[in-house]
Structure 1
Amino acid sequence: MSVDTAGATKQESEVAHEAERRRTFAVISHPDAGKSTLTEALALHAAAISSAGAVHGKGDRKGVTSDWMDMEQDRGISITSAALRIDYDGRVLNLLDTPGHADFSEDTYRVLSAVDCAIMLLDSAKGLEPQTLKLFDVCRARKMPVITFVNKWDRPGREPLELLDEIEQRIGLRPTPLNWPVGIAGDFRGLVDRTSGTYTKMTRTPGGAQKAIEEVLDADRAAEVELDAWEQAQEEIELLEALGADFDHESFMAGESSPVLFGAALSNFGVGQLLDTIVDRAPAPSAKADDKEKPREVEKPFSGQVFKMQANMDKNHRDRMAFVRVSSGRFDRGMVLTHAPTGRPFATKYTQAVFGSDRSTIDTAYPGDVIALVNAHSLAVGDTLYDGPKVSFPPIPSFAPEHFVVARAVDAGKYKQFQRGIAQLDAEGVVQVLTSDVRGEQAPVLAAVGPLQFDVVKHRMEQEFRSPIEASPLEYSVARRTDAESAPTLHALSGAEVLRRRSDGELLVLVHNKWRLRVIERDNPSLFMEALLAGGVDEGE
């Protein structure tokens, strides 16, 4: 064996070992289910932060670590995804926090393309909600394993068996609880581990800013302390056993069953058990299919895909950061990679790990890790970077926009800032920017999944680019992909307009509503109009 081959084999072995240590996952939920609070509670239990602050904190209590944007802190919602890297129990956990609001589904979809597992967070009182269902459909389409965490058990809510039945009936996912609550929702006493049978009694710390105090009791002592609540929990656990609701690794990995845990993120109840489940049950990074459907093994030379762009995270440095999920190989800061779309070299001198708004230089990364490349002006969402033999991963699809406005600079003297800001927000995927020769570059059409995206655009254009805009709504609600042959005819029709997507040059036809679209399709069957991605599945009528 040659020295080079021996060296390569050694590095491949190192990469395989490090990949096995990684767990890369996202938290998905409906708004207000407690997603950002859970993100921070996980970081607290992994000792990555010293105290937790609720999103809607009182007094001088700080906001969540992952919400770094001014608008997020002001409104108490997550607008953009955040990457948190946590070391825990010999593992490296890459937690990608995502926006819960439906208006920011496209950002969440991009994040789901970069993870190996999802935590589906449910409100104990509300169960499965519309946005949760929408995001679960994305996970199902990707055959992604899903761990379910029933949150807010310290507040009044539904019966646990009722929630399990809803999961199975509505989304066809077989629930397999790993633990079981003692005490009804709103009277949360503790959790029974279904594997060991041990009972962990929990006591909330003042304000929930620290880990909950845990006391492990055997069954006899638990029965003495919890009385009727313990007896009821045991009866329900016996029913689960009779139903065969036991964890099965194969069906979990196939996306057919979901391990379920109960807890309360704000009180830090059950969060440690969730962390242990992620370490023990969630999958490590594995081979990813390239655009030719050929698997790229994790031991191969470096490759990664940009899943998110973000500018101006640091107010003191107006930079542009590309978040890259490492798919294969070892990354070393300073290595020169190849940008797949152009074939040009890309230097990686400035590479960072991001923990909410905090940054630190990262020198080495492995499959499953997320690296942030600074001043990545030549990169865009979906781009592949690689070392060695050429590889390119499939692009990340865009959602079908449903809301449209015409943007114009309020101050004509700041047109350059206007152009720069619109181009930056388009590159980040905050909105889709559409242009046409008729409207011109000074009046681009902004297309969004939800109207809150336009609020983000207005805020950032004024605060970051110093070019306030006015946004005039357009009476369109449907977008379809079209081609150069059909475009002139479609553009001439009443209630329709053809524009070009700035990011990739693709032609889109905008139509007033679905009824007008049906008429156009009926009267012009030869014209090309193709549905776009909507909520993770192909858009239908």
Structure 2
Amino acid sequence: MSLSNEVARRRTFAIISHPDAGKTTLTEKLLLFAGAIQIAGSVKARKASRHASSDWMEIEKQRGISVASSVMQVEYRDTVINLLDTPGHQDFSEDTYRVLTAVDAALMVIDAANGIEPQTIRLLQVCRARNTPIITFVNKMDREVREPLDLLAEIESHIGMDAVPFSWPVGMGKSFGGVFDIRRDRMRVFRPGSDRIAQKDEDVIDGIDNPEIAQRFNTAWSQAKDEIELISSASQPFDKAAFLDARQTPVFFGSAINNFGVHEILDALVDLAPSPGPRHALEREVIPDEAKFSGVVFKVQANMDPAHRDRVAFVRVCSGRFERGMRLKVSRTGKETRPNNVVSFLSQRRELLEEAFAGDIIGIPNHGVLHLGDVLTEGETLTFTGLPFFAPELFQAVEVADPLRTKQLRIGLTQLGEEGAIQVFKPVAGGALLLGAVGQLQFEVVAHRLKSEYGVAARMMSTRYSLARWITADDPKDLKKFMDANAQNIAYDVVDAPAFLSGSSAQLRVAQELYPKVQFHALREHGGQVFKTRVGDSAFA
């Protein structure tokens, strides 16, 4: 098969939602219906022996939540689907933002009882800023939920897109009978079953005027039929160009836990979601089916295999064909690497990979050679931007309970900082390492992972800091002068980028007024690339 054909059959998307909307459950069902797994993991029974395939960390299994994004590749209808499950909790939004830079589309999951929720809005804003096409799935229709027409109006008002229903629920709660496929003019009747696909063929009734539907579903069908006729006449027709330009979103209704509507989502991903497109580097536009390989590291995960204490760099293939053992250049360092143990994923399960194409997500195990944002090429120097680190809003000092484990603490925090699980700062003036986060739960997860993955019992302590800004200056002398005068408030992060830590916004304003030649940044790009100067030796050497 030609390179262009291989690229054309790729679909790479992320699943996004507010916590508890059913995102991880839907992920399981997509894997189930695609034939990747035979039985879905339970995300509700926290003490059960089965867990969601995408929740592989011990803390995820204990709490029944996703705290790290995971990658799964499946094949369905001769299409290679790269599915990225993201954390729904806002405390892990940085991980989700970085994942969204690696996908070509997003699947938004909405709880039909709660509608659009705050975290969903934030993620949608990121998608809109990148013009990422969005497919919408309204979940939990097997419960007593809000009226579908109200949900449709809320979707349009919050995401600023025309919502075009592709399916429509027949009833809700105990009277929920299935979904009517508007475009195919048929109703699909599902039998409840949360773990397996029914062995018999699914019950399908053709035709909106088929009397069998009215006979079987009575009042629920009467209301659904009226609503279908209303939206068919009032809503905009589906325009694929508008969808790809993020101006329309196809909407599907269902119940992931009971397998309602999952098939329609899978088919929509194949039929509607875009194949990989061009990606913009600072140097030029990179075309997916060009001959030369290029890829960017959008995520680093430590200890996916605790027995080997490895670090896996997740690489989005941007162009060309990857072959195991090929010579690749790391643009940041100029060094050459020949990865031979590259893997594809079904969450933490790995398979040795021989080749991959634009749109695929590959994993390169390494020992700190690859960092977030690194670009791999066959020799050309390329720089892809857009992988954000946000200035933390919460700080805690961290010390090891057993002084003999100080080295393990430093190793663990360095690795967790490099993967973006937490931001780690080393004060210039000495003292305990500082952890910066956007949410309190990040501290809890890091403490748990330090104990379970690195054997380190860490003590977390409050600090006087409440905000941070990375600092740069056009003239290195101006930056050094500022850092010398404010040494008690200066720290380096894991990529040696200097930051000014402040106890209040008033203190930050004073510093900005006194040192107008210093720039204060609330966001930095990966690898410290936004910084024009660096001062001092490596903080974490």
Q: Is the 8 A contact 1:479 1:532 kept in 2?
A: no
Q: Contact 1:181–1:190 at 8 Å: present in 2 too?
A: yes
| Partner secondary structure for residue 148 of structure 1 | strand
Aligned equivalent of 1:264:
255
Q: Find the counterpart in structure 1 of residue 144 from structure 2.
A: 156
For the 8 Å contact 1:103–1:450, the answer to whether it is kept is yes
Q: Cα deviation per residue 1:143-179 (whole Å; 9 max; x = unaligned)?
A: 1000010011111110111011111112212111111
Residues 1:356 and 2:351 are matched in the alignment? no
Asked whether the 8 Å contact 1:304–1:384 carries over to 2, the reply is yes
Equivalent in 193, 216, 219 of residue 204 of structure 2 = 216
Equivalence for 1:134: 122
- Aligned partner of 2:435 in structure 1 is 446
Task: Give matches, 1:467-478, under 5 Å.
Answer: 467-478=456-467
Worse-superposed segment, 195-204 or 126-135: 195-204
Query: Cα deviations across residues 229-262 of structure 1 (Å, max 9, x unaligned)?
Result: 1111111111112213332111111111100000
Structure 1 residues 372 and 506 mapped into 2: Cα distance closer, same or farther (>3 Å)? same
Structure 1 equivalent of residue 537 of structure 2: none
Instruction: Look up the match of 1:392.
Output: 383
The alignment partner of 2:81 has SS state of strand
Residue 67 of structure 2 aligns with an amino acid whose one-letter code is: I
User: Cα deviations across residues 438-463 of structure 1 (Å, max 9, x unaligned)?
Assistant: 025xx221111111111122112222
Q: Using the alignment, how far apart are the partners of 1:70 and 1:280 within structure 2?
A: 36
Query: Does the 8 A contact of 2:295 with 2:316 survive in 1?
Result: yes
Change (3 A) 1:515 1:124: farther
CA distance in 2, matches of 1:414, 1:493: 31
Compute the displacement of 1:296 (Å). Answer: 3.5
Deviation at 1:274, TM superposition (A): 0.4
Q: Which moved more, 1:309-318 or 1:78-87?
A: 309-318
Provide the secondary structure at the position in 2 that maps to 1:233: helix
Is 1:455 matched with 2:436? no
Match of 2:292?
301
**Per-residue deviation, 1:488:** 5.2
Partner of 1:537: none
SS at match of 1:119: strand
Gaps (5+ residues) in structure 2?
A: 526-541
Q: TM-score, normalised by structure 1?
A: 0.91
Letter in 2 for 1:397: P
CA distance in 2 between counterparts of 1:362 and 1:314 reads: 17
From 265, 271, 275, give the equivalent of 1:280. Answer: 271
Could you tell me which amino acid in structure 2 is paired with residue 209 of structure 1? D
What does the per-residue CA deviation read over 1:378-424, in whole Å, with 9 as the maximum and x for residues that have no partner?
Answer: 00011000114333322512122111111122211122212211211
Q: Is the 8 A contact 1:158 1:185 kept in 2?
A: no
| Paired AA for residue 221 in structure 1 | E
For normalisation by structure 2, the TM-score amounts to 0.91
Larger mean Cα displacement after TM superposition, 399-408 or 118-127:
399-408
- Shift in Å, 1:350: 0.6
Say if 2:397 is the partner of 1:406: yes
Pick from 238, 248, 270: which aligns with 2:239?
248
Cα distance between partner residues in 2 of 1:57 and 1:410: 34
TM-fit CA distance, 1:356: 1.6
Contact 2:94–2:388 (Cα < 8 Å) also in 1: no
Cα shift readout 1:317-344 (whole Å, capped 9, x = no counterpart): 2211111111111111111211111111
1:497 and 2:474 are equivalent in the alignment: no
Q: Secondary structure at the match of 2:213?
A: helix
What do the CA deviations read for 1:115-134 (whole angstroms, capped 9, x no partner)? 10000110000111111011
Deviates more, 1:188-197 or 1:40-49: 188-197
- Asked if 1:228 is matched to 2:219, the reply is yes
Is the 8 Å Cα contact of residues 155 and 187 (structure 1) preserved in structure 2?
A: no
Does the residue aligned with 1:528 lie in a helix, a strand or coil?
strand
Where does 1:5-404 land on structure 2 (aligned, <5 Å)? Answer: 14-57=2-45, 60=48, 62-185=50-173, 187-205=175-193, 208-211=194-197, 214-218=202-206, 219-394=210-385, 396-404=387-395
CA distance in 1, matches of 2:184, 2:370: 49
Q: Are the equivalent residues in 2 in contact too, given 1:337–1:386 (CA < 8 A)?
A: yes
Distance in 1 (CA, whole Å) between partners of 2:385 and 2:448 is: 32
| CA offsets 1:85-131 (integer angstroms, 9 cap, x no match) | 11111101000111111111111111111110000110000111111
Q: Does 1:429 align with 2:420?
A: yes
Partners of 2:491 and 2:174 lie apart in 1 by: 53
- Match of 1:26, as an amino acid? A
CA-CA distance at 1:493 after TM superposition: 7.3
Unpaired segments of 5 or more residues in structure 1?
1-12, 535-541
For residue 298 of structure 2, give the secondary structure of its aligned residue in structure 1. strand
Secondary structure of the 2:388 match is coil
The alpha-carbon deviation at position 202 of structure 1 amounts to 1.5
Amino acid at match of 1:529: F
Partners of 1:51 and 1:497 in 2: how far apart?
Answer: 53
- The SS at the match of 1:354 is strand
In 1, the alpha carbon distance for the partners of 2:272 and 2:49 equals 34
Counterpart code for 2:409 = F
Matched residue SS, 1:462: helix
Contact 2:416–2:422 under 8 Å retained in 1: yes
Whole-angstrom distance in 1 between the partners of 2:509 and 2:334: 43
Cα separation, partners in 2 of 1:58 and 1:326, compared to 1, 3 Å: closer
* Conserved 8 A contact 2:91-2:442: yes
Q: Distance in 1 between matches of 2:411 and 2:148?
A: 52
Q: Distance in 1 between matches of 2:185 and 2:524?
A: 45
Identify if the C-alpha distance between structure 1 residues 423 and 21 changes in structure 2 by more than 3 Å, giving closer, same or farther.
Answer: same
Alpha-carbon RMSD across the aligned residues, in angstroms, is: 2.2
Aligned counterparts of 1:35 and 1:445: Cα–Cα separation in 2:
33
Which moved further from structure 2: 272-281 or 355-364? Answer: 355-364
Percent identity between the two aligned chains:
43
| Counterpart-to-counterpart distance in 2, 1:252 and 1:172 | 12
Indicate the SS of the match to 2:428: coil
What is the one-letter code of the residue matched to 2:15? Answer: V
**Contact 1:177–1:246 (CA<8 Å) still a contact in 2?**
no
Q: In the comparison of the two structures, how many residue pairs are matched?
A: 516
| Segment of structure 1 superposing worse, 237-246 or 448-457 | 237-246
CA contact (8 A) 1:150 1:261 kept: yes
* Residues 157 and 186, structure 1, Cα contact 8 Å, conserved in 2: no
